[in-house]
Structure 1
Amino acid sequence: MKGFLVLEDGTLFAGEGFGAPAVRAGEVVFNTGMTGYQEVVTDPSYYGQIVVMTYPLIGNYGVTAGDGESRRPWIRGLVVKELCDRPSHWQAVGSLSDYLAGHRVPVLAGLDTRALTRHLRSHGTMRGVIATLKEGEVAGPEQVAAWLEMARSFRLDGAVRRVSTASAYRVPGHGPRVVAVDFGAKENILRELTARGCDVTVVPAWATAEEILALRPDGVVLTNGPGAPTDVPEAVEMVRGLLAHGRLPLFGICLGHQIAALALGASIYKLPYGHRGANHPVKELDTGRIHITSQNHGYAVAAESLPPEVAVTHVSLHDGTVEGLAHRRLPLFTVQFHPEACPGPQENRYLFDRFLALMARAAVSTRSA
């Protein structure tokens, strides 16, 4: 099966297509992770994106029953250099190509993905179309022109509403009550919370501050999710309402970090090609420690726009962008990277322990008030 990738600047890549014949438009981004492709394709933060994997061999350990970060893949397409269709792993329940084909996600193989990545690094993230054709079908100039127009007209609107839970649900525990606002939450965020005994209630992205406070939480987690934080102004207003409470601990992750920054009065800007991978070095300013982090985001907080009461706690060693914030007075801290990893290093899970400690201090303060 023939396959093609057309970028909005008119660049055309050809390769071998896998899965069901399909044509999908999306934002073309690259991920530098060597492993963790199943977690990537099932991460709701990748909604609307065509993901290019820079590591040359993808699919060699197949897919497993427990490695997904949600119930289905969210990517619009996958581009790899070499796709292994005969995986070898004792936990594998099938191949990556069969898994994606079952969800009608097109896969394009046989490209020089590192050359494609250099193109994206030079020209910035682009919109594009991935197309896998029926056997014997040929793509002529008119077809390619139609794909190019499709790419240029693609818009990533309403992404958070498409991936968020439609209604609230509870993951019971015996510890502190935590509300997780689902902007596109990865399952491992919930697993990290429940592993620490938290009684978690997951609410939709459009929940109001009043609805959240009515649940009487000990703390709130603002989760990851796709798209730009400016696309969910109602979430920014919700966070402002929670901040007005004054004593409720808040922990923001990725998109949640950006939404919290907007609520605090900061501004956001789009990165040329984003940070996506499991090997991004981040410096914690208080300790000087360097953490290797898992990341997936296309926007960043403008450090110069932060109010004086908000401190930068972490910075990227790649480009100096803001990777963490903490309020000097309110019980709020956020990180741009993924402390729950999956895929990626596990050294940043301590941030969940920090959140539990923050809730414990807030509880003591409330009782003594």
Structure 2
Amino acid sequence: MLKEIDSYPQLRPPSAALILENGTIFWGYGIGAIKASVAELCFNTSQTGYQETITDPSYSKQIICFTFPHIGIVGSNKIDNESKRVYASGCVINQPISSFSNWRAEKSIDFFFKKKNVPCIYNIDTRQLTKLLSEKGAFKAAIVNFGKNKRKLELLKKDLKNWSGLENLDLASLVSTKKKYSWKEGIWNENLHKYNKNNSFQYSITCIDFGIKNNILRNLSNLDFKSTILNAKCTLKDIVNTKPDGIFLSNGPGDPFATGEHVIPIIKELINLKIPIFGICLGHQILSLALGAKTTKMFQGHRGCNHPVKNLITSEVEITSQNHGFEVDKNTLPNDITETHISLFDNSNEGIMHNNLPIFSVQYHPEASPGPHDSHYLFKEFYKIVNRYAKKKRY
């Protein structure tokens, strides 16, 4: 049933709309790019770190509804981006802040949206929208910042109706690097107010890029890993030619089963080489598929930086940063795989390790950015495993 919603009293004619697959239309005002997008609508509960969130490649083909009422408080800058561009299809916010206040800020959030060509709608009751998503699950949606031209709305409704959704979409191949490259930048130096540069490396690892975030690479560099980043469609020969001491499977967007059609046979070969492997987010899901488990689309994905996770090995609780709409089905884990972490929100799988091989992965983001640093220890665990196995000849 068509339902049109003006979230708050409109003092002037609306200039943007959010259209849900059930026909509901939220009217509001637009900032950012004058354009339209069709994607999956999700919500994010982070109170800050919106620039890092928007530039996370894992948000490809998603419209982000921020639950925090004021977005733009700390403005935007050139150094907080997690990738070179914005892959999110749009943003829904309650109220934007044009008068930003932060010593590192350079421009407003509106300037950022325009520069990155992202449509955004505001003056929306994001509590109402989040409640709807919580109860009904993710929606296919269309966002349009139409300015003074409403004529595109009917065409956009047809595009929304024809879009099949995220399932079976290999989005990782769209956000992955086109060329091999190396990474030397370390973590943020509070004293120098810039990122460290690392020119001294102990071990070489190869990162398969499904949508890797910059802060993951910084954390790896901080532990003296020399990272070589390869495209998601790389071959086993491409990987072996880098002579890695370990393999890192990155975060990324889309359906792990679709992305896995190419890369899973390669990961199985790497598993047979008994090389250390560490996976995060989409990398966790693809590694699980390679080990024999299954993945499913979640009714309600996890997105935010306040998600409690229990470490089943230590019984400790970590507050984590998360962004995923698919999960590993814990009931399909093979006997030689141990579940290491679970979500305290819904008991879903958050981590695994192989009982006999140097392989482990987690569903969440230990690098945070944004988010707490409770899980930084996982990078050190990877270092310990690589250090233990590095002397073995495999190539």
In the superposition, the TM-score normalised over structure 2's length comes to: 0.89
- Using the TM superposition, give the Cα deviation of residue 180 of structure 1 relative to its aligned residue in structure 2, in angstroms: 0.7
Q: What residue number does 1:30 align with?
A: 43
1:164 aligns with 2:164: no
| Per-residue CA distance 1:173-198 (angstroms, 9 max, x = gap) | 42100101100000001000111111
Where 1:295 maps in the other structure, the secondary structure is strand
Aligned residues: 361
1:346 corresponds, among 365, 373, 376, to 373
Q: What residue number does 2:25 align with?
A: 12
- Using the TM superposition, give the Cα deviation of residue 86 of structure 1 relative to its aligned residue in structure 2, in angstroms: 1.7
- Using the TM superposition, give the Cα deviation of residue 102 of structure 1 relative to its aligned residue in structure 2, in angstroms: 1.4
Letter in 2 for 1:151: L
Hey, what's the Cα distance between the residues in 2 that align with 1:146 and 1:118?
A: 28
| Per-residue CA distance 1:207-242 (angstroms, 9 max, x = gap) | 122321221111010000000101111111121111
2:290 corresponds, among 235, 241, 263, to 263
- Using the TM superposition, give the Cα deviation of residue 145 of structure 1 relative to its aligned residue in structure 2, in angstroms: 4.1
Could you tell me whether the CA contact under 8 Å between 1:128 and 1:148 is conserved in 2?
no
Hey, what's the Cα distance between the residues in 2 that align with 1:6 and 1:89?
A: 34
Hey, what's the Cα distance between the residues in 2 that align with 1:122 and 1:255?
A: 25
Where 1:152 maps in the other structure, the secondary structure is helix
Hey, what's the Cα distance between the residues in 1 that align with 2:37 and 2:104?
A: 31
- Using the TM superposition, give the Cα deviation of residue 87 of structure 1 relative to its aligned residue in structure 2, in angstroms: 0.8
Where 1:347 maps in the other structure, the secondary structure is coil
Q: What residue number does 2:218 align with?
A: 191
Per residue, is there more helix in 1 or in 2?
Answer: 1
1:219 aligns with 2:246: yes
Could you tell me whether the CA contact under 8 Å between 1:44 and 1:226 is conserved in 2?
yes
Hey, what's the Cα distance between the residues in 1 that align with 2:240 and 2:342?
A: 32
Hey, what's the Cα distance between the residues in 2 that align with 1:229 and 1:16?
A: 35
Alpha-carbon spacing, 1:123–1:149, altered in 2? closer, same or farther (3 Å): farther
Q: What residue number does 1:41 align with?
A: 54
1:119 aligns with 2:132: yes
Q: What residue number does 2:273 align with?
A: 245
Letter in 2 for 1:238: I
- Using the TM superposition, give the Cα deviation of residue 138 of structure 1 relative to its aligned residue in structure 2, in angstroms: 4.0
Letter in 2 for 1:161: S
Q: What residue number does 2:299 align with?
A: 272
Hey, what's the Cα distance between the residues in 2 that align with 1:64 and 1:105?
A: 16
- Using the TM superposition, give the Cα deviation of residue 171 of structure 1 relative to its aligned residue in structure 2, in angstroms: 2.1
Q: What residue number does 1:149 align with?
A: 158
Letter in 1 for 2:262: E
Q: What residue number does 1:316 align with?
A: 343
Hey, what's the Cα distance between the residues in 2 that align with 1:64 and 1:291?
A: 29
1:282 corresponds, among 299, 309, 319, to 309
Where 1:234 maps in the other structure, the secondary structure is helix
Letter in 2 for 1:182: D
Hey, what's the Cα distance between the residues in 2 that align with 1:283 and 1:215?
A: 36
Hey, what's the Cα distance between the residues in 2 that align with 1:3 and 1:185?
A: 32
Q: What residue number does 1:206 align with?
A: 233
- Using the TM superposition, give the Cα deviation of residue 103 of structure 1 relative to its aligned residue in structure 2, in angstroms: 2.2
Hey, what's the Cα distance between the residues in 1 that align with 2:292 and 2:158?
A: 37
Where 1:348 maps in the other structure, the secondary structure is coil
1:95 aligns with 2:108: yes
Letter in 2 for 1:36: G
Letter in 2 for 1:355: F
**5+ residue gaps, structure 2:** 1-13, 185-199
What is the correspondence of 1:290-369 to structure 2 with a 5 Å cutoff?
A: 290-364=317-391, 366=392
Hey, what's the Cα distance between the residues in 2 that align with 1:138 and 1:285?
A: 53
1:80 corresponds, among 64, 75, 93, to 93
Letter in 2 for 1:163: V
Letter in 2 for 1:230: F
Hey, what's the Cα distance between the residues in 2 that align with 1:268 and 1:24?
A: 27
1:2 aligns with 2:15: yes
Could you tell me whether the CA contact under 8 Å between 2:170 and 2:256 is conserved in 1?
no
Q: Percent identity?
A: 39
Hey, what's the Cα distance between the residues in 1 that align with 2:386 and 2:36?
A: 47
Hey, what's the Cα distance between the residues in 2 that align with 1:103 and 1:303?
A: 38
- Using the TM superposition, give the Cα deviation of residue 298 of structure 1 relative to its aligned residue in structure 2, in angstroms: 0.3
- Using the TM superposition, give the Cα deviation of residue 144 of structure 1 relative to its aligned residue in structure 2, in angstroms: 4.2
Hey, what's the Cα distance between the residues in 2 that align with 1:162 and 1:347?
A: 31
Q: Which moved more, 1:92-101 or 1:145-154?
A: 145-154
Where 1:294 maps in the other structure, the secondary structure is strand
Alpha-carbon spacing, 1:303–1:158, altered in 2? closer, same or farther (3 Å): closer
Q: Which moved more, 1:297-306 or 1:203-212?
A: 203-212
Where 2:387 maps in the other structure, the secondary structure is helix
- Cα root mean square deviation, aligned: 1.3
Could you tell me whether the CA contact under 8 Å between 1:85 and 1:96 is conserved in 2?
yes
Hey, what's the Cα distance between the residues in 2 that align with 1:290 and 1:256?
A: 22
Hey, what's the Cα distance between the residues in 2 that align with 1:353 and 1:313?
A: 16
Q: Which moved more, 1:151-160 or 1:339-348?
A: 151-160
Where 1:38 maps in the other structure, the secondary structure is helix
Where 2:326 maps in the other structure, the secondary structure is strand
Hey, what's the Cα distance between the residues in 2 that align with 1:190 and 1:306?
A: 29
Hey, what's the Cα distance between the residues in 1 that align with 2:351 and 2:282?
A: 12
- Using the TM superposition, give the Cα deviation of residue 104 of structure 1 relative to its aligned residue in structure 2, in angstroms: 1.8
**5+ residue gaps, structure 1:** none
In the superposition, the TM-score normalised over structure 1's length comes to: 0.95
